[in-house]
Each structure stands twice: as structure tokens, then as C-alpha cells.
Amino acid sequence: MSLRASTSQTIGPFLRIGLEWMQIEDLAPQGVAGERVRIEGRVLDADGKPVNDAAVELWQANSHGKYASPEDSQDKPLDSGFRGYGRSLTDDSGTFRFRTVKPGRVPGPDGRLQAPHLLMTIFMRGLLKQLVTRVYFPDEPSNADDPVLSLVPAERRASLIAKKAGDGILEWNVNLQGRNETVFFEF
Amino acid sequence: MKAIPPYRRPYVNTQPEYLFPNYASTVKRAPREPLVVLPHTLSEVTAPVFGFGEIKPTDSDLTRQHNGEPLGERIVVSGRVLDENGRPLPNILIEIWQANAAGRYNHRVDQHDAPLDPNFTGAGRFLTDKDGRYRFMTIRPGEYPWRNHHNAWRPAHIHFSLFGQAIVQRLITQMYFPGDPLLDYDPMFTCVADEKARNRLVSVFDWETTMPEHALGYRFDIVLRGREATPMEKRP
């Protein structure tokens, strides 16, 4: 049996009605193992104007490099209380924010380990389907031979690596267009 | 580690492009640089799991979320969630949202001059059962104007958000109603070239789920991406 996947449609401007009940900006309550990190950023359009109606969703492995998903059969510990899923709806300044733990390394396409990363899925009015991208961590030596980062033209890789801002915050902005357009993936 | 069978890439003309100038908001928001093809690693083929404790029975009956009954025509919206290989997908979180019967959203940015309904929020949630089935009781949403082009009106629709078993199956779409004369004028509905793909966004009237003297039934099946065939195991 072969069916065709349903066509994507825009999330539209009224997403909060349906999605705000499960806004999860703090993914890692006390007791979850791993290095605490805060990721914040803004979603900006072609004119640099904030996008105040985006849903930014995060998916990540736990600090041991294990996904809380039945599809992950690795022999690594799960962390009860850590699902690895976050959802932040941008505010009037276009800002989203997450508190979580730095993920461990997970295997890549050829079995080699990938650098620690977060998978980001972004929806908004004006997008007929989601954008998919990744966030990597600064000062992470394993970025140098990450199998996915290496697919990205070298001069554009910086858009996928969070920057250290004040107060221990990692800043990662989403530029939809322009000179510093964020790298998005065909998923 | 076994090779991970990837998910199928979209069939030609069945998924929208980012830039679609007939839908004016895409112009400043669609990326312009080439996309990078993402291999499907463990990060892409896993997804969060949601539990029944997170969903209440009233979450799927949008007519019973307030003290009184909402105005408008009650409808039952139900269907199945399958993947492209025809496999029913159980335990999939579906979130829906919609306008009220007058075509007004319960949202601060909706300035349409139509009445709010104090008995209607317009949000619902459901976890699919073991056969991938879901069911909502709601009211038929109204059409409403928007400012995309002169005299632009959205056809009646319900927004659907679905998670899959893989994060690359994540889908947000809209369900429309059969025979809606606004469909042909709507840049969202017409955003893909494939007519069959468009028409799969239109629900069908369903006698089987219509409740006598209570509510008309509409069926809306949703297909999420399926995996490529599992690679043949190598013989020792």
C-alpha cells in the first residue's frame, strides 16, 4: 500500500489558541542529569523585524546521548522526567527561550558520533511548511568533524552554532532571509 | 549499529514551496538560500511520546468546555492517521484550533468584526487509538476575511497539528469542508500544483459518524510520511 503524505498548510496567526497549553520552555526539572544550558534567540524576517507569531520546537537527546523515543534502541540510560521536547511561542520581540541540559552525542549516518545538537522545527504565518534546522554548541571540538555540519558550506556554518551571551545564556537567532540567513535543511 | 531506513522525501508537487507570492506573507519569511539536504539520523527518526494523562476527555469535545453550549452547527470530525505505507499510527498527539461559527478566533490579534462566543474557545486535543483513529466533537467554523488581497476570504477550516513517531513526520495542516466555493480563491488551498493532493485536504461528509438528531459527521484521514523500505539485511 502506498499513500501520499498530506499536504502541509501554514500554522497561521492564531496558533496560540491550539498550541499554548503545551508551551514547554523548561525541559529539565531538578534531578535531570547533565550540564544546564539556556538557549535564547529571536526570529527575524527579511527586514530584521521580529516575528511575534512563531512556534519554535526543540527536540534533543538527554545528556547520555539517548532519545526518549521507542525508535532509539541504544543501550544508554533514559532520564525519567526528561522528554527532550520543548515548545516556545515567540513574544512581541520575536524571542523564544529554553532551559535544558546539553545533549550527549548520538550516532550519525555512518555510525560515527555526531556533535551535541538540538533539532529545531519552526512554524509561523507566512510559512506553508515548517523550517527545520539545528543548533550546535560553541567551544565544542566535535563540531569540527560533525557529519551534518560538514554538509553545510563552511561560510554558512556559523548560523548553526549558538554564541555565548551574558549570564550563561547561549544566543541563537533565526534570520529568515538576508546576509546572515540561517541554514535550513530539506528534511 | 543497523543502518537507519530514512523517511520518504515528498512526492513531486504535493508539498508547498516556501516562497509562494500569492500568499503575501511568504515574501518576507521564506528562506532564499538553498536548503541543505538533511540525512535522517537518529535525531530525525525519533520523536517525543505523549501520554494519556496529559489529555482530558473534554479536550476532544469543543462544545463542552464552558458552562453553556456554543452557537453554531455541531459536527463530528473523525478519521485515521496513517503513514505512507498504510500503517495506522497509534498514540499520535493531534492538536486542533479553529474560528467560532461566526468566523472569529478567540485571539487578541483577530480584529474581524464578528462576535466572540463566550462558550467557545476553539481548541482541542486527542491521542489516536491503537488503530490510529481520532474523533472530535465541535461546531462548524465560519469563513472570515483576511487582508492578503482584495476581498480575500478564508474558506471554513480547522487547523490540525500532528506529531509522528519521527520528528520529520511532524505535520501542521488544515482541514476544509466539501463544496466550499471559497476553496478555488484561496492561496493556501491552491499552494500545491497537484490537484489530488489539494483535494485530500477536503473532508468528506460521513453518514456513518453522523449522529441522528444531533450532529453531521465529516471524515478527514491524515497521512504522515512513511519509511523507505527497510534495507535488505546483509547475509553473513
Domains of chain B: total: 1
- Residue-wise pLDDT tens digits, B80-96: 999 999 999 999 999 99
Confidence check: pLDDT of A166 > 90: no
CA distance B231 to chain A (A): 14
B158 touches chain A (CB under 8 A): no
In total, the C-beta contacts within 8 angstroms joining chain A to chain B are 240
Q: Residue for cell digits 489539494? A: B198
Choose from B1, B82, B146, B170 for mutation: most chain A CBs within 10 A. Answer: B170
B174 part of a folded domain: yes
Which residues in chain A touch residue B47, judged by CB atoms under 8 angstroms apart? 59, 69, 71
Q: Residue for cell digits 511532524? A: B170
Q: Residue for cell digits 478527514? A: B220
Chain B residue nearest residue A86, CA to CA: B48
pTM of the predicted structure, to 2 decimals: 0.97
CA distance A22 to chain B (A): 9
Q: How confident is the model at residue A1 (pLDDT cuts 50, 70, 90)?
A: low
The amino acid present at B202, given as its one-letter code, is: V
pLDDT of residue B236: 44
- Angle among Cα B41, B46, B48 to the nearest 5 degrees reads 150
pLDDT of residue B230: 62
Q: In the structure grid, which three cell numbers stand for residue B14, read together?
A: 504535493
CB contact (8 A) between residue A10 and residue B45: no
Q: Cα–Cα distance between A131 and A146 in angstroms, integer?
A: 21
Chain A residue nearest residue B47, CA to CA: A69
The runs of H, that is alpha helices, within A42-106 are none
Q: Cα–Cα distance between B144 and B38 in angstroms, integer?
A: 38
B3 part of a folded domain: no
CA distance B12 to chain A (A): 10
What structural domains and CATH numbers belong to chain A? 15-175 (2.60.130.10)
Q: What distances in angstroms separate CA A155 from CA A165, A179, B198, one per listed residue?
A: 22, 11, 38
pLDDT of residue B233: 47
**Do B215 and B76 contact (CB within 8 A), yes or no?**
yes
CB contact (8 A) between residue B191 and residue A156: no
CA distance A38 to chain B (A): 20
What CATH number does residue B135 fall under? Answer: 2.60.130.10
CA distance A177 to chain B (A): 5
Nearest beta carbon to residue B167 from set A7, A59, A107: A59
Q: Cα–Cα distance between A52 and A160 in angstroms, integer?
A: 21
Task: Round the average pLDDT of chain A to a whole number and report it.
Answer: 97
Pairing of strands A185-186, B36-37: parallel
Confidence check: pLDDT of A55 > 50: yes
pLDDT of residue B53: 85
Pairing of strands A174-175, A36-44: parallel
CB contact (8 A) between residue B31 and residue A147: no
Nearest beta carbon to residue A5 from set B25, B47, B84: B84
* ipTM > 0.95 for the complex: yes
The runs of H, that is alpha helices, within B166-224 are 195-199
Nearest beta carbon to residue B41 from set A1, A51, A109: A109
- Residue-wise pLDDT tens digits, A22-46: 999 999 999 999 999 999 999 999 9
Positions of B marked active-site: 105, 144, 154, 157, 159
- Residue-wise pLDDT tens digits, A126-145: 999 999 999 999 999 999 99
CB contact (8 A) between residue B110 and residue A14: yes
pLDDT of residue B232: 52
- Angle among Cα A91, A31, A77 to the nearest 5 degrees reads 105
Nearest beta carbon to residue B197 from set A2, A7, A128: A7
Confidence check: pLDDT of A96 > 80: yes
* pLDDT less than 50: residues of chain B: 233-236
The amino acid present at B101, given as its one-letter code, is: A
Q: Residue for cell digits 551571551? A: A165
B199 part of a folded domain: yes
Which residues in chain B touch residue A18, judged by CB atoms under 8 angstroms apart? 95-97, 122-124, 159, 161
B70 part of a folded domain: yes
**Do A36 and A103 contact (CB within 8 A), yes or no?**
no
**Do B220 and B79 contact (CB within 8 A), yes or no?**
yes
State mean pLDDT over A65-78: 97
Other beta carbons within 10 angstroms of residue B80's beta carbon come to 17
CB contact (8 A) between residue B32 and residue A181: yes
Nearest-CA neighbor of B7 among B142, B168, B116?
B168
Range of the domain at B210: 56-224
Region at B196 (left for phi over 0; alpha for psi -120 to 50; beta for the rest): alpha
Choose from B42, B65, B95, B171 for mutation: most chain A CBs within 10 A. Answer: B42
Nearest-CA neighbor of A39 among A28, A30, A31?
A28
B43 touches chain A (CB under 8 A): yes
**Do A121 and B170 contact (CB within 8 A), yes or no?**
yes
B66 touches chain A (CB under 8 A): no
Q: Residue for cell digits 509562494? A: B20
B29 part of a folded domain: no
